[in-house]
Structure 1
Amino acid sequence: MNYIGQDSRVDLRVKFIYRVGMSPMPEGLSVWRTLKGAGVKYVKFVIVDIFGRPKLEILPIDAARDAFIDGIAYDGSSIPAYTTVNKSDFVAEVDADAVYIETWNGGKTALAFTSTLDGDKPHPMDPRNALKQTVEYLKSRGYEAKMGAEVEFFLVRGNPPSLVDSGAYFEGYPLKETMPVMEEIIEHFYLSGIGLTKTHHEVAPSQFEVNIPAGDPVQVADQILVYKILAKSVAQKYGLIATFMPKPFWGVNGSGMHIHVSFWRDGVNLFASYKEPTPELKSAIAGVLNNALANSVFVAPIVNSYKRLVPHHEAPTRVVWGLGNRSAMVRVPYYGKKINRFEYRHPDPSANPYLGFSAILLAAFEGLDKKLEPPSPVEDIAYDLEGVKETPKHLGEAVKLASEGVAAKTLPQQLVKAYLALKEKEWSDYLASVSEGWDKTWNVITRWEYDQYLETA
């Protein structure tokens, strides 16, 4: 159970005991009783779609009791690509460790994440199941992975959007339009149970970053969705839009979602060292770099993503790595020559975090398992390098490259096939919307992109 509240009279981590026979209470029922005792009136059961967007089944707290025990029944054919209408009666079981109170709504509602079943097995079309299975596979091979995320986004007004502040990186002066929004967002970030964080104004006007604390990959992926819901809800109160579209404005930095990764064995961080990267860290980086082009469709998944991946705006375009080098695709944080993780700067916040995380972990594990060696780290500004691999030119190219990677070969094939088909259609829809084609529109943010991504990415 994930909840931290200053005024709550109920400890949401307490396990209650049935009075009848003193047998342990089912975990779901324990969670339900805790929510009811905390004053929650409605539960929003979260089903994650193939794009990584939350779909909700909302029940009053009393009606939600049985759902916490037996799961939530829903029409699977209404979720993109999940199933056909003739086989659409699905059940999703509630994850009792992934429940968050929406403190920004006065604590009257809660988000409860679910995993869809195929009979008594995980359904292959649920991306949350895919990440859970990836994590379990790593554990079966003796590894525990921890991931964290730096999520960048813009606070804007209208569609087409306009910037609402003139702040710069680490802006120190008060910003009338955006700082009250960010203060409220950060307050609820903590109260809702995501954890402690830090935030700052990013390079572009109206752009901010928050950090999702490192932890279990499934939990962190859930928390990215909770954060998006939170940020969008608070921004709406101020008449603004919190957009996670990677490149809403040409000529300024886009928004990335930098992913920090470490691998552990028997409680020991295999990437931790001073001065020199460990052999395990280098092998993991080699796996990530080898799969970078194939994984692009999972970590930079929309047409607009490839307008972010251009030189000189702190987005990676060269498939290289370096120590403390923010122009490289993979950066090893190197503060005081202390090393404990790598940072993958390729992803953006429009990514389905469950599929994106799975692709990253599988790539890193392939490097570890095969003891791959990466090329030498790059010290120069990577945008100026020649003769090295570059990120795909556009989404259409990324779709074609996907089949070459370990993720597309390892994730449930039904899921991969449907996902790539939808991405191919998305690319075709974009081309149909612009008469000039990509070569004339790669440096222009089109109306089609705003309509597709501004509020839904």
Structure 2
Amino acid sequence: MNEIKSFIRYDSNKPKFLQLIFVDINGAPKGMEVPIERYEEAVTEGISFDGASIPGFQGLEDSDLLFKADPTTYVEVPWEGIAKVFGYIYKDGKPYYADPRRILGSVVEELEKMGITAYIGVEPEFYLFEKNGSWELKLPDGGGYFDLINLDKAREIKRTIAYYMPTFKLIPEVLHHEVGPGQHEINFRFADALTTADNIVRFKYLVKAVAESYGLYATFMPKPLFGKPGNGMHMHISLWQDGRNIFKGEEGLSDEALHFIGGILKHARALAAITNPTVNSYKRLVPGYEAPVYISWGYKNRSTLIRVPAYAGNGARIEYRCPDPSANPYLAFAAVLMAGIDGIKHKTEPFAYVEENVYELGEKERDALGIEVLPKTLEEALEELKRDRVVKDTLGEAYRNFIEHKTEEWEEYQRYLEKNKIERKTIKVTEWELERYFYI
């Protein structure tokens, strides 16, 4: 325990190095370190690097890229003696089309032209494991939803994470044990879309670093354990214009909010490829574990894809419940926002309204309500994406990179199943998935 506390409490002097961070197509943080003295250069001129081997970039054609730091994202890591900063990537003096942060930045700029600011809050769930030198994972506690003291063995860990969150520009709000044994959630304050996407990357790093200091592994993998709840990342969204929440109507939600819901429902099957982008994501999206699979909406209804939480004053928002933490937050936010905006532009009426538990409805009842189902596999989601112009256009030229990368991922999984004589439609979590996704 002394080693743990010395690791966590260590307060370095001024940072000696600067970590320049961007994410690949999977949302995994990538980057390099430079001496802190090069910070001004990183902001004004940029730091060149070889991007040829970054997943989702253009291969050998991208051997010469430039990273320019965004000084508003600068934070210092107290126990490592380094600082971290996000930025944008350039190629030949122009914004690089496959930079996920740039894609979301372009969507934010488009909304700004409409006078709109999107605010997003997220609920990324994670498991804490003791790993025993193999993929036999030992859970460190037997707690369940909102359990305390004896059953929540990670309460000190969550408090330590929350203690350091402000250092990373995160404002902790609620800490609690989730439904699964060893599963947890720490909610942090919502922010504008780009800041929240940055915050997700920061939060994952912090959770993993603190967990490691306690001798544990933290995973945001969508479904690390067969038969146990998966990790979700619900998105709470509101749009503001001239200091006013335009989702708030005179009574209930505004027309804009309802049309925004309609847009997401219309594009939900294609959006799944972006918000649930891994083979393992679809092991979570099965009935019986709270993850929504039926394309529907309702007020306060936790079985629907979109829920309208109870609110007062300017708290009007929608909750999109299918995304998981394997999503690249920049791509996911960009795609969901543009799907919703498409609904506003075309005044798309939301369909499949239901206040009953959707899982308890029969197939005929769901058909009568017009309730569709999310894709059952990554392959099916990619086929939906290929047919959806709104979501494709949001990704721009990076769409081709995304499809190629994810198709290769699906095909690699199929080869693994065939080689090991595993049923193609298995919903069990395979060793291939653990090796590929455990460190998400």
43, 63, 66: which one aligns with 1:88? 63
Quote the offset at 1:118 in angstroms: 2.6
> In 2, are the aligned partners of 1:306 and 1:395 still within 8 Å (CA)?
yes
Offset, 1:180? 2.1
Deviations 1:126-152 (Å, cap 9, x if unpaired)?
010000001111111232111111111
- The answer to which of 309-318 and 270-279 deviates more is 270-279
Deviation readout 1:169-216 (Å, 9 max, x if unpaired): 111224574222211111111232222322111011101112232111
Show the counterpart of 1:26. Answer: none
CA RMSD of aligned residues (A): 2.0
2:32 to 49, 53, 57: 57
Partner of 2:95: 122
1:405 matches 2:411: no
Match of 1:27 in 2: none
Contiguous gaps of at least 5 residues in structure 2:
1-8
Compared CA separation, residues 333 and 51, structure 1 to 2 (3 A): same
Q: Distance in 1 between matches of 2:173 and 2:290?
A: 22
| 1:45 corresponds to which of 10, 20, 34 | 20
CA distance in 1, matches of 2:274, 2:319: 17
Distance 1:362 1:379 in 2: 26
SS at match of 2:189: strand
Q: Note if contact 1:273-1:338 (Cα within 8 Å) is conserved in structure 2.
A: no
- TM-score (norm. length: structure 1): 0.87
Kept after mapping to 2: 8 A contact 1:167/1:206: yes
Distance 1:415 1:365 in 2: 20
Could you tell me how far 1:68 is from its partner in structure 2?
Answer: 3.0
Cα deviation, residue 63, structure 1: 3.9
Counterpart selection for 1:321 from 283, 297, 320: 297
Shift of 1:238: 1.3
Runs of 4+ in 1 over 6 A off after TM superposition: none
Q: 1:326 to 1:178 in 2, by over 3 A?
A: same
**Structure 1 CA distance for aligned equivalents of residues 195 and 317 of structure 2:** 18
| Whole-angstrom CA distance in 2 between matches of 1:154 and 1:301 | 19
Q: 2:279 aligns with which of 303, 306, 313?
A: 303
Shift of 1:447: 0.6
Any conservation in 2 of the 1:358–1:407 contact (CA below 8 Å)? no
Distance 2:75 2:193 in 1: 17
Find out whether 1:441 has 2:433 as its counterpart. no
Amino acid in the other structure paired with 1:404: R
SS in 2 for 1:292: helix
Please tell me whether the aligned partners of residues 246 and 348 of structure 1 are also in contact (alpha carbons under 8 angstroms).
Answer: yes
Structure 1 residue aligned with 2:5: none
- Partner in structure 2 of residue 140 of structure 1: 113
Q: CA contact under 8 A between 1:151 and 1:212: conserved in structure 2?
A: no
Q: How does 1:26-425 map to 2 (within 5 A)?
A: 39-103=14-78, 105=79, 108-158=81-131, 159-175=135-151, 177-273=153-249, 276-335=252-311, 340-375=316-351, 377-385=353-361, 386-387=366-367, 388-425=371-408
- Greater CA drift, 59-68 or 198-207: 59-68
Q: SS in structure 2 opposite 1:426?
A: helix
CA contact (8 A) 2:342 2:390 kept: no
- Mapped to 1, the partners of 2:352 and 2:38 lie a distance apart of 59
Aligned length: 418
Shift in Å at residue 267 of structure 1? 1.2
1:420, CA displacement in angstroms?
1.1
1:358-398 deviations in Å (ceiling 9; x for gaps): 11000110011111111252111112343221010111111
Q: 1:412 to 1:393 in 2, by over 3 A?
A: closer
- Superposition TM-score, scaled by structure 2 size: 0.90
Amino acid of the residue matched to residue 112 of structure 2? K
Q: Secondary structure at the match of 1:250?
A: coil
Please give the alpha-carbon distance, in whole angstroms, between the structure 1 residues aligned to 2:306 and 2:91.
Answer: 37
Question: What letter matches 2:59 in structure 1?
Answer: T
1:452 and 1:209, CA in 2 relative to 1: closer, same or farther beyond 3 A?
same
Conserved? CA contact 1:165–1:205, under 8 Å: yes
Distance 1:133 1:267 in 2: 22
Deviation at 1:400, TM superposition (A): 0.6
Q: Distance in 2 between matches of 1:267 and 1:305?
A: 37
Q: Tell me the SS of whatever aligns to 2:269.
A: helix
Distance 2:314 2:49 in 1: 49
Instruction: Judge conservation of contact 2:339–2:391 (CA < 8 Å) in 1.
Output: no
1:231 maps to a residue whose letter is V
Cα pair distance change 1:86/1:177, threshold 3 Å = same
Structure 2 residue identity aligned to 1:59: V
Equivalent residue letter for 1:76: G
Shift in CA distance, 265/336, structure 1 to aligned 2, threshold 3 Å: closer
Change in 2 beyond 3 A, CA 1:404/1:141? farther
Instruction: Give the whole-Å Cα distance in 1 for the aligned partners of 2:17 and 2:404.
Output: 36
Matched residues in 2 for 1:440 and 1:417: separation? 27
* AA aligned opposite 1:143: I
Q: What is aligned with 1:24?
A: none
SS of residue paired to 1:199: strand
SS of equivalent to 1:135: helix
Q: Aligned equivalents of 1:228 and 1:86: distance in 2?
A: 31
Q: Which stretches in structure 1 are left out of the alignment for 5+ residues? A: 1-6, 8-35
Contact 1:77 1:88 survives alignment (8 Å): yes
Offset of residue 119 of structure 1:
3.0
Contact 2:375 2:381 in 1 (8 A): yes
**For the residues of structure 1 that align with 2:386 and 2:152, how far apart are their CA atoms?**
48
2:4 aligns to what? Answer: none
How big is each residue's C-alpha offset from its partner over 1:304-344, in whole Å with a ceiling of 9 and x where there is no partner? Answer: 10010011211001000010011100000025798600000
Name the amino acid aligned to 1:236.
Answer: E
